[in-house]
Amino acid sequence: MKKLLCLFALLFLAAAILPSCSNDKDKPLIVACGASTSPYGYYVGETNAPVAGIEVDLIKEIGKELGRPVQFRIVPFQYVFSLVARNEADIGAAGIEIASDHSEDVLFSSPYDTSSQMIVAPNGSDIKDEASLKAARVAVLEGTSDIDTLRERIKPKAVLPFLTLEEVDAAFAERRADAAVMDSMQAESLIKAHKDKYSIQGKPLGRYQHGLIFNRKNSKLASAANAVIDKFKLSGELQKSRAKHFDILNTIPPARANEEKGRPFVVCLESSFAPFVLMNRNQLMGVDIEMAKDIARELKRPLRIKIVPFVEVLPLVESGSADMGASGISITPERERTVLFSKPYEKTVRRILVNTDAPYTAVEDLKGKIVGAKKGTKSEDYAVDEIHAKKTIHFDNAMQGILNLLDHKIDAYIDDDGEADLAAEKISNIDGRRVKTLDVSIPLEEYGFAFHIDNADAKAAADKVIDTKRHRGEINALFRKYKSIYMTLDIDNY
């Protein structure tokens, strides 16, 4: 009888354990993947086609080794780290450079590949080295560390982010870009695909190793992946994968002329200027996003959004690399000399915020102080030209600026009233801390959408959308809607 009871107990235990093991094995391996870094990850043809690339091959091997299906979640590069850090993805992949400044946020795998950062230019170009890039308009692929190298170290005349190598080729053909900086494998792919119209110039700007990323609590998965990476390299599968994807990339037809769907209407903007543009988790939304959709619809063109720092919005429009610039752009006589503006769709005034216990009562009191603003905005100009600040510190959005003000890291923060008032109210609702506004007279400004100086058709479409929405009361409704959404977001999510 005891033996029979023991047998039943063992059978019951096995029944309880086996489904659990099976569920773990069947649980998908979620991969946050940037699909614009060929040959590591890219779309084959249309953007709804399956993702392919060296990393895709490697991750499929990891899934096979663990006995788990793989699901690729395609996101912009800037969200790969945050999804993994929040444990909303098991693996992050986007041709990521292994870097110590991210080591506190995520775990890096062993390097699966090594590459160099190269300058590419049309044959016969005068651009031969890093020094000659400073006066150039430089193309770069969005979401890569090449953008950081250009913006922070080289600081060229303009940085022009593109999504694909075909867009880089188009920028060269139309003389919108003088050179490009990219991974050595991408450079080789571009040169081969376009029959040696281009060449690599000078020495590498840098060398780096590529790895996958994991949540810091997921060391077991990272160790399992490292074993697969070692095998992938030693068996020669890495070299086979490289060769395969170079062949594929070199046979994909140019995507520039898609007559059925039309040429994309490219809108560049920054992603943190509520209520005009804001990010809710991975969803981009806001007044300007809604307006851009309607303008693209009016033009009968598919919409494509490029997220860039605000300081790059107008240069991209001026160069023709984007059709429209958005995210609360003030219309000024200086800017009207280089771009076309739509009709104004909103008004703004500059806010100067200080701590409630600060002794400042006038603009003159801030002379020689440390002032926060967003780079490339009229607020930054005001800090330098009117306040004569000792130092201007740049922030991505009003939330960051006001939090630094409350922590007494800056003496004042300047921003447009819409975003500044919302952020100040939000912080006050969360922890009770308040700031005050200096009572100063600052001229009213108007916001508009920016277009290339020759793009009268797009301006006309925007003006029509603005007139229609204003007549129907929809613009005010959009501002109310996105102010309300912004107030519900966590500080860390904005």
Structural domain spans, the chain: 22-112+211-251, 116-208, 265-347+446-493, 350-442
Low-confidence ranges of the chain (pLDDT < 70): 1-25, 35-36, 38, 43-50, 76-78, 100-103, 142-145, 163, 249-262, 281-282, 489-494
Cα 73 to Cα 35, 335, 476: the distances in Å are: 10, 39, 35
Residue-level pLDDT at 24:
56
Residue 253 phi, psi (nearest 5):
-70, 150
Q: Write down the CATH superfamily of domain 350-442.
A: Periplasmic binding protein-like II (3.40.190.10)
Residue-level pLDDT at 162:
73
Instruction: Indicate the SS3 state at residue 450.
Output: strand
Residue-level pLDDT at 18:
38
Q: What kind of fold does domain 22-112+211-251 have according to CATH?
A: D-Maltodextrin-Binding Protein; domain 2 (3.40.190)
**Other beta carbons within 10 Å of 57:** 18
Which residue has 């069947």 as its token pair?
A: 26
**Other beta carbons within 10 Å of 166:** 17
Kindly report, residue by residue over 283-311, the tens digit of the pLDDT: 788 999 999 999 999 999 999 888 777 88
Whether 116-208 and 265-347+446-493 share one fold: the answer is yes
Residue-level pLDDT at 468:
95
Q: Give start and end residues of each alpha helix (H) in 343-488.
A: 378-382, 398-406, 417-431, 456-472, 474-488
Residue-level pLDDT at 488:
76
Q: Where are the beta strands (DSSP E) in 79-168?
A: 91-93, 106-108, 113-122, 137-141, 158-162
pTM here is 0.55
Q: Write down the CATH superfamily of domain 265-347+446-493.
A: Periplasmic binding protein-like II (3.40.190.10)
Residue-level pLDDT at 281:
59
Amino acid letter for position 441: S
Kindly report, residue by residue over 88-141, the tens digit of the pLDDT: 899 999 888 887 666 677 999 999 988 889 999 999 999 989 999 999 999 887
Q: What kind of fold does domain 116-208 have according to CATH?
A: D-Maltodextrin-Binding Protein; domain 2 (3.40.190)
Task: Report which of 98, 127, 91 is spatially closest to residue 115, judged by C-alpha positions.
Answer: 98
- Do you find a cis peptide bond into 161, omega within 30 degrees of 0? no
